[in-house]
Amino acid sequence: MAVELDAREALILSGHLDVAASGPPLPHEVVWTRLVETIRLHRMIGGLCQACGERAGPEGRCFKAAIAVEWCRQNPMTLLDQSAPGRP
């Protein structure tokens, strides 16, 4: 799946319909948190998604989880350096 998705599209397609279609930009951390939750909930067991009952698609996931995984791949989360100032 090589479709470019913006944050709102990814959230809506992955089942987060409570996200408004317009408004201020969504914080990257919020989008990541919601999509990682989707991936965790929509795990496959025996070829069926445990959250929605959908069969695995070509990506080996249900549609909602595949959308979430693709957005996370396209938008990697950078970890902030949490070390104290002056420490190597």
d(CA 88, CA 81): 11
**What does the pLDDT read at residue 1?**
54
**What does the pLDDT read at residue 2?**
62
The dihedral region occupied by 39, where left means phi > 0, alpha psi between -120 and 50, and beta the remainder, is alpha
**What does the pLDDT read at residue 3?**
72
**What does the pLDDT read at residue 7?**
92
d(CA 26, CA 47): 33
Q: What is the pTM of this model?
A: 0.80
**What does the pLDDT read at residue 80?**
59
Burial 40-78 (b: 16+ CB within 10 A, else e): eebebeeeebebeebeeeeeebbbbbbbbbbbbeeeeee
Q: What is the pLDDT along the chain (88 residues), one digit of tens a residue?
A: 567 889 999 999 999 988 877 788 889 999 999 999 999 999 999 999 999 999 999 889 999 999 999 999 999 987 655 554 554 4
**What does the pLDDT read at residue 87?**
47
